[in-house]
Structure 1
Amino acid sequence: MTLRIFSGFVAAALAVSSLSVPAALAKPVSGASAVKMIDTDNDGTVDMKEVEAVASTTFDRLEKDSDGTLDARELKGRLSAAGVKQADPDSDGTLDKKEYLAAVAERFKMADPDGDGTLDAKELNSKAGKALLALIK
């Protein structure tokens, strides 16, 4: 019985939302400091173009084996197993740059509840905003 409960707990833990911020990446980064780092046009917000530029650089930095994809090891916990599966439409267990940027775009959209196409410090401090930052830092 104990093993069955433990197995259920493990299954539930693995199914945790792909928005959860991995503990290893949960170092406190305020939304305001993130805006300062990402906001290249200095308008006090970040838009998808600015986030995509950072995400592209992050992908290139993480992609160590020069195969054009990120595997779980290279992702370093930025996405949960469920998050990788969701972002991997070809089900090859890796994310190419297009798939990675699509995952970033999805997180951006979730962090933008007012739908204005920009994220401010408050939105980046939300759970969805922190999940986005975990993926691109």
Structure 2
Amino acid sequence: MNRFWRIGAFALVGLLAVPLSPALAKKAAPVAALDTDNDQTVDLTETNKAAEALFDKLDKDKDGTLDKKELQGRLTRGSFAAADPDKDGTLTRNEFLWTVSSLFKDADPDNDGTLDAKELAAKKGKALVRVTH
């Protein structure tokens, strides 16, 4: 009987040592990527920080704007048009950050000012993740 207990204990330890399943890890990934204070949620400050870094990375010609090509499909045609009020075909840093802020608010249905993994996995959360990664 002692032998069976040891086998069961080893099996339990083995199960506890298994990392998150790929589905769970993928679901938590957007939070982990944006969550700089490690509180398991993402706020607008964290989101804007990621968006500013992405803006700098995507602005290949360093002209301070992003055009549709530089955005690499991160915004839908309608979202791009809404973010480009002067209709010049580019987004300034402020226009881009306004868009990110708008997407953040859309992804926060409980209006608590933070997004958890479930909210980021929803359709509106995925739109936000696409623009910040």
Give the TM-score normalised by structure 2: 0.79
Give the alignment's Cα RMSD to 1 decimal: 1.4
Following superposition, the deviation at residue 30 of structure 1 comes to: 3.3
Asked whether 1:85 is paired with 2:81, we answer yes
Residue 95 of structure 2 aligns with an amino acid whose one-letter code is: E
Query: 2: distance between equivalents of 1:72 and 1:52?
Result: 20
Q: Deviating runs (4+, > 4 A) in structure 1?
A: none
Deviations 1:41-81 (A, max 9, x none): 11110000000000000000000111110001101001122
What does residue 46 of structure 1 align with? 42
What does residue 110 of structure 1 align with? 106
Q: Following superposition of structure 1 onto structure 2, how do residues 1-137 of structure 1 map, counting pairs within 5 Å?
A: 30-137=26-133
Contact 1:78 1:134 in 2 (8 A): yes
- Tell me: higher relative CO, structure 1 or 2? Use CA pairs within 8 A at least 6 residues apart: 1
3-state DSSP class of the match of 2:38? coil
**Cα distance change on mapping 1:95 and 1:108 into 2, 3 Å:** same
Task: Identify unmatched segments of 5+ residues in structure 1.
Answer: 1-27
Query: 2: distance between equivalents of 1:80 and 1:89?
Result: 15
Structure number, greater radius of gyration: 2
Query: 2: distance between equivalents of 1:92 and 1:43?
Result: 39
Q: Which is helix-richer, 1 or 2?
A: 2
Residue 69 of structure 1 aligns with an amino acid whose one-letter code is: T
Query: 2: distance between equivalents of 1:90 and 1:30?
Result: 37
3-state DSSP class of the match of 1:85? helix
Query: 2: distance between equivalents of 1:31 and 1:132?
Result: 14
Query: 1: distance between equivalents of 2:69 and 2:76?
Result: 12
Query: 2: distance between equivalents of 1:116 and 1:30?
Result: 24
Give the TM-score normalised by structure 1: 0.77
What percentage of residue pairs aligned between the two structures are identical? 53
Query: 2: distance between equivalents of 1:30 and 1:111?
Result: 18
Length, aligned pairs only? 110
